[in-house]
Amino acid sequence: MYGEIGNKLVQHAKRTQSLAHLPPYQTELVRAVTREVRDLDKDVGTILEPFAGSFDPSTEPAAACALLVNHLCMRRNKRCLLAYHRTRTDKLEEMCWGGIDVLERQQEQQANKTGISDDVGKIGADGAGSSLSPEEEEYVRQYSDLLAAYKGQWTDIDLTGSLEPPKDLFIDVRVLKDAGEIQTEYGAITLTKNSQFYVRQGDVELLIAQGYLQRLS
């Protein structure tokens, strides 16, 4: 029955929405749906051929019906393909916004799968293990550039920064070991042992984790 493969694609799309990662691209399904559309189009041509351009639907209800069904199927398949591809590009964009280097991650996953860690340079040469189609890899590259260009117009704002309202921006810390000069978002401050500071949390999280600073509650 026409449209069944399209349904499978839509199911894949639905699943993708609820997953944290991107499942492998369904190349065969995509090809099959596209093939179906071309077959339906051929059928249309076959139906219309005997009329040589002067087809009147009101006098040929059976043919008109068949044409309508074909047309609706083709459009439905188109929507399924669009939905499938769009769901995946949405996910890829989400990763870009989250600062994830999608292509790098793909390479790591491939290396892990094939167990060859120094082949990290390959980008899906044989496609094995890559979840993205080659077209999707190209899309990610281009979208990252687009995002970087848009972000670049708002550097003061830090467009991909936190979407939660700021809270407890500054915290009290004591310096446990001399840490020299550190860079904060706005400039340098010098951390000498036993001194206490009221500093931006974001600037010192790492130093707290490393044991140079102690947070005072």
| Interface with other proteins (CB under 8 A) | 30, 33-34, 37-38, 41, 71-72, 74-75, 78-79, 81-82, 85-86, 89-90, 93-94, 97, 133, 135-136, 138-139, 142-143, 146, 149-150, 153-154, 156-159, 161-167, 169-170, 184, 186-190, 198, 200
Alpha-carbon distance values, 102 to 19, 63, 84, 97 (Å) = 16, 49, 19, 11
* CA-CA-CA-CA dihedral for 181, 152, 201, 206, to nearest 10: -60
User: Is 207 within 8 Å of 182 (Cβ atoms)?
Assistant: yes
Which residues sit opposite 165 in a β-bridge? none
Q: How far is the CB of 117 from other proteins (least distance, A)?
A: 31
Q: How far is the CB of 148 from other proteins (least distance, A)?
A: 11
Query: Is 214 in a helix, a strand, or coil?
Result: strand
Q: Name the residue nearer to other proteins (CB basis): 116 or 148.
A: 148
Q: Name the residue nearer to other proteins (CB basis): 11 or 190.
A: 190
User: Is 9 within 8 Å of 78 (Cβ atoms)?
Assistant: no
Alpha-carbon distance values, 182 to 81, 97, 178 (Å) = 52, 28, 11
Q: Name the residue nearer to other proteins (CB basis): 110 or 133.
A: 133
Q: Name the residue nearer to other proteins (CB basis): 119 or 158.
A: 158
User: Is 76 within 8 Å of 7 (Cβ atoms)?
Assistant: no
Q: Name the residue nearer to other proteins (CB basis): 55 or 111.
A: 55
Q: How far is the CB of 4 from other proteins (least distance, A)?
A: 17
Q: How far is the CB of 21 from other proteins (least distance, A)?
A: 15
